[in-house]
Amino acid sequence: MDRQPCVYILSSGRHGTIYIGVTSNLLQRMDQHRAGAIPGFTARYGVKRLVHFEMADTMDVAISREKQLKDWRREWKVALIEKDNPFWEDRAVMLGFPPLVQR
């Protein structure tokens, strides 16, 4: 999983604020989001829960998918998340991250 292109969706909670991003290293990027080390939207709105991710063969494919998802209507994004993750559980736990502390 290290160094493999990936498009991912973060959320502030179930049906909360959504952020879509792309990275070549999902584990490193999740460390950054969890630590609030990336200033901007995700840090400002507490968007840290990994609710969906898709690995890609190339960064071009991942970027193309990211752009596609960003153009989608919110209900389509919600349906994509809930197809495999109906309760918006934090998939970062499956990658070895500790569970997020609920406030």
> pLDDT digits over 30-64, tens only?
999 998 888 899 989 989 999 999 999 999 999 99
pTM of this prediction?
0.94
Q: Which pLDDT band, with edges at 50, 70 and 90, does 84 fall under?
A: very high
- Helix (H) / strand (E) element for 77: namely helix 74-84
- CATH topology for 6-95? GIY-YIG endonuclease (3.40.1440)
| pLDDT reported for residue 77 | 98
63's enclosing H/E stretch is: helix 59-71
Burial (CB count <10 Å: 0-12, 13-18, 19+), residue 85: middle
Cβ-proximal residues to 67 (8 Å cutoff; 6+ apart), any chain: none
- Partner residues linked to 49 by β-bridges: 11
The two three-digit tokens of residue 6, written as one number: 């990936």
25: confidence class by pLDDT, cuts 50, 70, 90: very high
